[in-house]
Chain A
């Protein structure tokens, strides 16, 4: 397998100028002639290197600079300084050959034509990306099956549900078989089940076609299910780059266990296995180390008093919060 670098950035920076709005007539008049600006450093000095075929999670709190980085990598905006090379191209030159090899999925209205059914958008993309009719049919059949969107293809896009639309967006974005895929929060706004389906699809797709994927998400489930490697940024600075396993050592990965008893077993103390988040009668929520989760759950079940028990990943912000603190 090829292991060359697909994405390389060196000392990548992006600053945004934000005009300050002035209050009052005189001040705003002055603002017209002598505008005052603030400068926001969205990305500062980012170095990263991603190998061909890697699936990397790009994490960080709101405003960390993730979307800004993806916009620079895909070629939407110019970097303020530093260098980028993706597949050997400088993205902001937007060479058509480059654009034909990448895809960016950002938000829910990226590619679908709002007033037309998705099949029309797909047909337009077939021509724009110069895909042969036979190839188009084969790829379409494959994507439709993997994404389960047979029923959505002929419905006007504006009438599709969020989950249907997201899956159609993915089909459109993947039709030209991009070698590089930038996914900005692909699961945002979807219900748990739909998130699972999208996740399963992405995993399956990556397995089959091995594109290089850089994905942002605020859901720990996405990260754990999908990525091997994570890059964490905060305020435009890279603070972690490594495997998920190492991350879980650096920042304790935890699970949240919620248990409701018929009657609380004798001698039960939530503090024995984790940090209590809240208690409400026979209902407890506890944060426990990931590796102990399965064992704890089975122990609780064995008391025979459990009415309901759920295990969830701790929110990503909490996990990463420890990293930011250190």
Chain B
């Protein structure tokens, strides 16, 4: 095996490693709880501002989104954002710069797992803060929200759409983070590719379903929609079965492509890595 970096350690002790790492990252999250809470609030603010903007805009009665749809869309968004949020693009280059990557590289455990468990711990904590806020607002605004059914089928679809969204976003961001082996300021690239374009084509600024068909060709082919808008579209329930299937297929394709690219960058990066420091 080249580079000797297998994803799973041999034997069955991976579960125990996971639990121990989760526990450690949970403690770290608590140590930085102030910062984590501020990030959580930050992720609520932008969708709420956008919600009020769209509620203030005049629109005809034949528009696909009415007030209630916008409220639902932008209320669900902070929760989705909490799940898909990924910051390897900041932490990985920092690890490289500060020399912490050295220690990850010399352990019989793939360095990616540290990032994975760190994300899980931080998100679990953020969710604990977010859920009460979002749900109390939903309750408060209940009269304006459109009716949505929660069939088993929908909950299952929602679960998988979210899961794929989380994984896709993680893989996209982490692949970009790998360029940190060559480039000093990956954050700038991230700002363009994963923030600006994502906000536009992922459905943050405008719900995808309200875009004219010509734009839909772009949004439906690019990966961004699937990391934000897609799960909310499923929640809203106006998306057809055909669209859902195509959506999952496109997602899997991007996941595959980004994984391949990330793997190639990882291997090439390790070859040129000079482990400065020490």
The residues of A with any CB-CB pair to B shorter than 8 Å are 16, 67, 71, 74-78, 93-100, 102, 104, 106-107, 109-111, 113, 115-116, 120, 123-124, 126-130, 184
Kindly identify which residue among B2, B9, B21, B106 contacts A76, using a CB–CB cutoff of 8 Å: B106
Check: B273 CB closer than 8 A to any chain A CB.
yes
Whether A120 lies near B4 (C-beta < 8 A) is: no
- With A76-B106, A99-B107, A107-B99 given, is the CB distance from A124 to B24 under 8 Å? yes
- With A76-B105, A116-B24, A120-B27 given, is the CB distance from A96 to B275 under 8 Å? no
Whether A128 lies near B3 (C-beta < 8 A) is: no
Whether A107 lies near B11 (C-beta < 8 A) is: no
Whether B27 lies near A75 (C-beta < 8 A) is: no
Kindly identify which residue among B16, B17, B100, B278 contacts A71, using a CB–CB cutoff of 8 Å: B278
* Distance in angstroms between the alpha carbons of A23 and B271 in the assembled complex: 30
Of the candidates A77, A106, A113, A127, the one having the most CB atoms from chain B within 10 angstroms of its own CB is: A127
What is the minimal beta-carbon distance from A115 to any residue of chain B, in angstroms?
5
Q: List residues of chain B with CB within 8 A of the CB of A102.
A: 106
User: Closest chain B residue to A78 by CB distance?
Assistant: B271
Whether A110 lies near B28 (C-beta < 8 A) is: no
Q: List residues of chain B with CB within 8 A of the CB of A100.
A: 108
| 5 A–B contacts, CB within 8 A, in A order | A94-B5, A96-B4, A110-B102, A115-B28, A126-B20
Whether B20 lies near A74 (C-beta < 8 A) is: no
Whether A77 lies near B273 (C-beta < 8 A) is: yes
Does more than half of chain A's interface fall in helix, strand or loop, or is it mixed?
mixed
Check: B13 CB closer than 8 A to any chain A CB.
yes
The residues of B with any CB-CB pair to A shorter than 8 Å are 1-6, 9-11, 13, 16-17, 19-21, 24, 27-28, 31-32, 99-100, 102-103, 105-109, 270-271, 273-275, 277-278
* Distance in angstroms between the alpha carbons of A199 and B278 in the assembled complex: 20
Whether A94 lies near B3 (C-beta < 8 A) is: yes
* Distance in angstroms between the alpha carbons of A96 and B100 in the assembled complex: 19
Q: List residues of chain A with CB within 8 A of the CB of B16.
A: 127
* Distance in angstroms between the alpha carbons of A175 and B256 in the assembled complex: 39
Q: List residues of chain A with CB within 8 A of the CB of B10.
A: 96
* Distance in angstroms between the alpha carbons of A56 and B27 in the assembled complex: 40
What is the minimal beta-carbon distance from A233 to any residue of chain B, in angstroms?
16
Q: List residues of chain B with CB within 8 A of the CB of A115.
A: 27-28, 31-32
* Distance in angstroms between the alpha carbons of A77 and B181 in the assembled complex: 13
Q: List residues of chain A with CB within 8 A of the CB of B20.
A: 123-124, 126-127
User: Closest chain A residue to B13 by CB distance?
Assistant: A130
* Distance in angstroms between the alpha carbons of A106 and B278 in the assembled complex: 6
